[in-house]
Homo-oligomer: A and B are copies of this chain.
């Protein structure tokens, strides 16, 4: 079987770097396609196609205004991705915690006299 469609879900849609650029650009406020073209630096048909993918998975909203179309990032649709990645947060060590653990490991193997000593780099 081939890879899943980019329109199957947000995870597939954001795999493409240009689409991430577009989402970042459209997060602050809505923009018309021409602005996206100059901002992201790819040609108009490509931008329209990427916008189509993003729209189909709900990552952007569109609004018509005359002959322009105003796109805006739907930040809510990024929340599930954020929550998935956040589920791994307990497993990565913050720099401070790592230092502490290293210090504690050292305490076990040596004396306890300097229990409160923090060594930045051994």
The stretch among A9-17, A34-42, A108-116 that forms the contact with chain B is: A9-17
Give Cα distance in the complex from A11 to B14, angstroms: 7
Chain A contact patch, size range: 20 to 34
In contact, B92 and A86 (Cβ under 8 angstroms):
no
In contact, B11 and A15 (Cβ under 8 angstroms):
yes
A82 contact from B4, B27, B89, B93, Cβ within 8 A? B89
Q: Does A87 contact B (CB under 8 A)?
A: yes
Would you give the 0/1 interface string for A37-59, flagging 1 where the beta carbon is closer than 8 Å to chain B? 00000000000000000000000
Binding site for B on A (CB under 8 A): 3-4, 6, 11-12, 14-17, 20, 23-24, 27-28, 73, 75-76, 78-79, 81-82, 84-89, 91-93
